[in-house]
């Protein structure tokens, strides 16, 4: 039987990722569950600020097949005001300490070096930094640990990033940013095995033109001749509402799942999502299609 070939299963070619206590491999795409312990997250602000609510949500995501949990104590939605250091620490550190024995890698979504240090001491395995370790002290905060590092591209800063962002070619410029960051980090003592890359959907990109160019050419954001794991984070974002007409983030579950599958088809090794169960189901179907299209021959 003949069938049309599917796009390359590029995520499987990603190199292993050293992530604190864990070494992640990518025979299949991994799911990172989002745990916002903030009062003003764009999608679920306030629901999981209380420690017990956060722990219950983490447990549910792990039951639903989350491979990682990403804990955030400060919203980085467009226009979001900064959260004071003490408040961010108060939100995230007890949650990290409580989840340390949960059996999955714990990521901390922060750009503050002091939070990075405290989170690593509390048991975090990854630093997920929207600034890509560009802020003063960030590189020093992670250099001597074994944590994974997610380097994200952002044009501008959260307060202003969506005010008419301009690129000559968004895919090329994101790739060039990654190339610069990789040179800086590896020369600064960070091993390449600790790094994954996030093109930063919605962070200084126009809703449709820039975001969908990045999704369509997702694998091309990878620096040439490299195998860094690529992370896609589009869950419930405005880029999905812009094409579906769904104005409320909670209405964008189906669009989020579709975007995640599109990213995996184009090389995403990790998808960062709010809706773990729905994403897991979709990826199981995707994997079954892949297996049927490329069956293993037995003698």
Please list the active-site residues.
237, 272
Cα of 50 vs its chain's centroid, Å: 23
- Which are the contacts of 255, defined by CB distance < 8 A and separation ≥ 6? 240, 241, 243, 244, 246
Token code pair at residue 126: 């990854």
CA distance to 10, 280, 291, per residue, from 284 (Å): 17, 6, 10
Q: Which DSSP state fits 230? A: B
| Residue 86: CB atoms within 10 Å | 9
Sign of the torsion formed by the C-alpha atoms of 105, 100, 150 and 205: positive
Q: Using alpha carbons, select from 234, 176, 178, 165 the residue that is nearest to residue 205.
A: 165
- Which are the contacts of 236, defined by CB distance < 8 A and separation ≥ 6? 42, 43, 249, 250, 252, 253, 256, 274, 275
Angle between helices 51-63 and 85-99 (to 10 degrees): 50
Q: Which DSSP state fits 21? A: T
Q: Which DSSP state fits 145? A: S
Angle at CA of residue 297, ends 293 and 299, nearest 5°: 165
């Amino acid at each position: 039987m003949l069938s049309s070939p599917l796009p390359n299963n590029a995520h499987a070619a990603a190199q292993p990722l050293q992530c604190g206590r864990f070494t992640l491999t990518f025979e299949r795409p991994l799911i990172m569950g989002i745990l916002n312990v903030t009062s003003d997250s764009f999608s679920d602000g306030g629901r999981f600020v209380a420690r017990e609510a956060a722990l219950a949500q983490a447990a549910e995501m792990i039951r639903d097949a989350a491979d990682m949990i990403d804990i955030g104590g400060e919203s980085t939605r467009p226009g979001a005001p900064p959260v004071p250091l003490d408040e961010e620490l108060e939100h995230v550190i007890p949650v990290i300490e409580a989840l340390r024995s949960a059996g999955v890698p714990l990521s901390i979504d922060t750009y503050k070096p002091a939070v990075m240090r405290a989170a690593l001491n509390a048991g975090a395995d990854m630093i997920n930094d929207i600034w890509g370790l560009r802020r003063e002290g960030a590189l020093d905060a992670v250099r001597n640990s074994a944590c994974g590092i997610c380097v994200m591209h952002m044009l501008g800063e959260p307060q202003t990033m969506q005010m008419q962002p301009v690129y000559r070619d968004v895919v090329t410029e994101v790739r060039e940013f990654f190339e610069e960051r990789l040179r800086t980090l590896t020369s600064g003592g960070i091993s390449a095995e600790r790094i994954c890359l996030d093109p930063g959907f919605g962070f200084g990109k126009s809703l449709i033109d820039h975001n969908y160019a990045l999704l369509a050419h997702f694998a091309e954001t990878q620096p040439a001749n490299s195998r860094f794991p690529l992370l896609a984070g589009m869950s419930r974002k405005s880029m999905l509402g812009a094409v579906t007409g769904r104005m409320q983030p909670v209405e964008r579950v189906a669009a989020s799942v579709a975007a995640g599958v599109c990213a995996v088809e184009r090389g995403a090794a990790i998808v960062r999502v709010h809706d773990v169960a729905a994403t897991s189901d979709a990826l199981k179907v995707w994997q079954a299609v892949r297996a049927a299209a490329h069956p293993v021959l037995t003698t």
